[in-house]
A and B are shown apart, each in its own frame.
Chain A
């Protein structure tokens, strides 16, 4: 199942280029997955309000999708857009590192 969490794509976006396409890979409803989703949602709302799009991929249901983004660790967040592709693994509990990983904050 693919869950879509929206910051309202297209609503406030100036153009399609500015939309952040994020994909979160999980394997079932584990505490880590749920935590990751919650953390991601919070960060996006804070920093990317209105211009992000989260797709959640459950590998238990679609195992063949693991190959495409070279997913090994669960949970993994993939920034599909804007390029380059970024991968952030873990439950996203360290907000600072998530922001660094997503290039929302320069590396210290």
Chain B
């Protein structure tokens, strides 16, 4: 793909990088080389600055000297104005890498008599270009000539000639123009400069201004067509294309604890993936910040750095509130592991927030980032803007394997699954906190709506805030539905009572049976005794019978013998 790109560039249009962060990505490499580019926008939209940064970056980064021809501000004014952005024009001018020429026309001093042309301007510009060997030219704002010179038809012809002349000298030029009412520029400069047109916009919505940049046209090149927010800060202009990072980050299967043991168990026993994005959504007062605080606490315990972006509460308030549930965040702040960044979302526009967040993340290099709550940002910008910003922020964090936890506040009216900034598709793990109202009581419930790439519990857990932190307990799920809080407790008690009664009943029956058994046993024993007695009786009878038989036979013998004896004795006696 890279090869294809270079081939494309070689065969097609050559480009000059501007060095302005993000702009080169949108334009696929920069401005058309050797051609004029029109930058138009309303007052205060950053035209002059864009032009100046183009020259300064060109001089410093790409070794291309540049001429800045100003029709509005003097060189001193310009130098002062851009010094706040870190550009030292005096140094660049001294080293002949930059030349600022202030062209000033006073209409009241000028009287027009007959034919003329703008050869003087050409000579002046040509002289400036030649004196430093310039490759880049900025004309800011050439349209003021229309106010200074009385004959627009001559001016138009001369401007046409000027742009042709710049092309011939193969100057990469930026021409700025004031935004017109129905056209891109007030005097129709887009008729002459048609290779590349960039529109700057400075819109105020809900009292918050946002700068935006759009490449309206870029002849012979592909370019990003969206409106991109941009920012002017001490680093100059930063355009924020969300496409700049893309879905290329590598992932790890390392898991990190949520700080809540029971929640770890719900997430397959190990917690979140490192580098994943966690969304905690819920209505007001459902404990979103507490979950975030647990996570931060766990990260700091592991010795990892964390940043907590708070848009609702001040750091000390968060610390105090978290202390009430047994989490001491103060110690981590003191150890330098935790940094709070608390700001009202309305202090500045969205891009400024994004830029400051990016900067802090860049500097502090945290492993865990909390944004609490992300929904508050939508008070300064539209949902799509916030989403775009989040995508960019998340891409940045994912590529650094930073785990991000966002909380979002869901309105009571809306569906719980519908997050306000449409962040659901961006998140890997989504914890949903909700109120469960039963029996005149409001309890917190939590479940995992999704968790990409891991087994997770499908159960609703009751979410308790105790003085030892968040505790998750099973809700009562039974024939009469799901119960939490005191309803759960009373239901559980009822169940226990029934259970007890059951047990007592069984106990009683058991006793009954036992008594019966004993009675039977006694009966058996008595029967046994009876049986033995009978047996003995029988034995006795048998014995008696034997005895009787024996004695009978003895008697018989005796009788017999007696009878014999008698004879014998008689005989003997005789």
A88 and B113 form a contact (CB under 8 A): yes
Q: How far is the CA of A100 from the CA of B149 in the complex (A)?
A: 17
B120 and A94 form a contact (CB under 8 A): no
Pick the contact of A59: B104, B109, B113, B119 (CB < 8 A): B119
Tell which of B121-129, B206-214, B527-535 binds the partner: B121-129
The contact string, 1 if C-beta is below 8 Å from chain B, for chain A 1-38, is 00000000000000000000000010100001001100
In the complex, what residues of B have CB within 8 A of residue A71's CB? 120, 124
> What number of A-B contacts does a CB cutoff of 8 Å give?
95
A76 and B120 form a contact (CB under 8 A): yes
A73 and B127 form a contact (CB under 8 A): no
B118 and A72 form a contact (CB under 8 A): yes
B123 and A60 form a contact (CB under 8 A): yes
In the complex, what residues of B have CB within 8 A of residue A73's CB? 116-121, 149
B24 at the A interface (CB under 8 A): no
Residue on B with the closest CB to A93? B114
Which of A63, A85, A87 gathers most chain B CB within 10 Å? Answer: A63
A90 and B105 form a contact (CB under 8 A): no
Which residues of chain A (53-108) have a CB below 8 Å from chain B?
A: 59-60, 63-64, 66-67, 70-76, 84-94, 97-98, 100-101
Residue on B with the closest CB to A36? B114
If A72-B120, A72-B121 touch, does A87 touch B115 (CB 8 Å cutoff)? Answer: no
In the complex, what residues of A have CB within 8 A of residue B109's CB? 84-87
Q: How far is the CA of A60 from the CA of B127 in the complex (A)?
A: 10
If A70-B105, A72-B118, A74-B118 touch, does A63 touch B123 (CB 8 Å cutoff)? Answer: yes
Q: How far is the CA of A35 from the CA of B121 in the complex (A)?
A: 20
Q: How far is the CA of A73 from the CA of B158 in the complex (A)?
A: 10
Q: Taking the nearest CB of chain B, how far is it from the CB of A23, in angstroms? A: 13
In the complex, what residues of B have CB within 8 A of residue A92's CB? 113-114
If A85-B109, A87-B109, A89-B110 touch, does A66 touch B123 (CB 8 Å cutoff)? Answer: yes
Q: Taking the nearest CB of chain B, how far is it from the CB of A75, in angstroms? A: 6
In the complex, what residues of B have CB within 8 A of residue A94's CB? 113-114
The contact string, 1 if C-beta is below 8 Å from chain A, for chain B 92-123, is 00000000010111000111111111111101
Q: How far is the CA of A88 from the CA of B116 in the complex (A)?
A: 10
Pick the contact of B111: A67, A70, A100 (CB < 8 A): A100
B145 at the A interface (CB under 8 A): yes
A88 and B123 form a contact (CB under 8 A): no
Residue on B with the closest CB to A95? B113
B118 and A90 form a contact (CB under 8 A): no
Q: How far is the CA of A94 from the CA of B234 in the complex (A)?
A: 53
B111 and A75 form a contact (CB under 8 A): no
If A25-B120, A74-B118 touch, does A97 touch B145 (CB 8 Å cutoff)? Answer: no
Q: How far is the CA of A100 from the CA of B101 in the complex (A)?
A: 31
Q: Taking the nearest CB of chain B, how far is it from the CB of A58, in angstroms? A: 10
The contact string, 1 if C-beta is below 8 Å from chain A, for chain B 369-382, is 00000000000000
B127 and A91 form a contact (CB under 8 A): no
A88 and B121 form a contact (CB under 8 A): no
Which of A84, A85, A86, A87 gathers most chain B CB within 10 Å? Answer: A87
Q: How far is the CA of A87 from the CA of B113 in the complex (A)?
A: 10
Q: How far is the CA of A63 from the CA of B114 in the complex (A)?
A: 23
In the complex, what residues of B have CB within 8 A of residue A74's CB? 116-120
B120 and A93 form a contact (CB under 8 A): no
Q: How far is the CA of A32 from the CA of B111 in the complex (A)?
A: 16
In the complex, what residues of A have CB within 8 A of residue B116's CB? 32, 73-76, 89-91
A63 and B110 form a contact (CB under 8 A): no
Q: Taking the nearest CB of chain A, how far is it from the CB of B455, in angstroms? A: 75
Which residues of chain B (2-40) have a CB below 8 Å from chain A?
A: none
In the complex, what residues of B have CB within 8 A of residue A27's CB? 119-120, 123
Q: Taking the nearest CB of chain B, how far is it from the CB of A83, in angstroms? A: 11
A67 and B124 form a contact (CB under 8 A): yes
Pick the contact of A66: B104, B112, B115, B127 (CB < 8 A): B127
Q: Taking the nearest CB of chain A, how far is it from the CB of B20, in angstroms? A: 29
In the complex, what residues of A have CB within 8 A of residue B112's CB? 88-90, 97
In the complex, what residues of B have CB within 8 A of residue A60's CB? 123
Q: How far is the CA of A51 from the CA of B124 in the complex (A)?
A: 32
Which of B110, B126, B145 gathers most chain A CB within 10 Å? Answer: B110
A91 and B145 form a contact (CB under 8 A): no
The 9 closest A-B CB pairs, nearest first, are A101-B111, A90-B114, A63-B127, A93-B114, A74-B119, A71-B120, A91-B114, A66-B124, A90-B113
**Can you name 19 A-B pairs with beta carbons within 8 Å?**
A27-B119, A32-B115, A59-B123, A63-B124, A66-B127, A70-B104, A71-B120, A73-B120, A74-B118, A75-B116, A76-B120, A86-B109, A87-B110, A88-B111, A90-B114, A90-B115, A92-B114, A97-B113, A101-B113
Mark A residues whose CB is within 8 Å of B: 25, 27, 32, 35-36, 59-60, 63-64, 66-67, 70-76, 84-94, 97-98, 100-101
Additional 20 contacts, C-beta under 8 A, given A72-B118, A73-B118: A25-B120, A27-B123, A32-B117, A35-B115, A59-B119, A60-B123, A66-B120, A72-B103, A72-B120, A72-B149, A73-B120, A74-B118, A87-B109, A88-B110, A89-B112, A91-B116, A97-B111, A97-B112, A97-B113, A101-B111
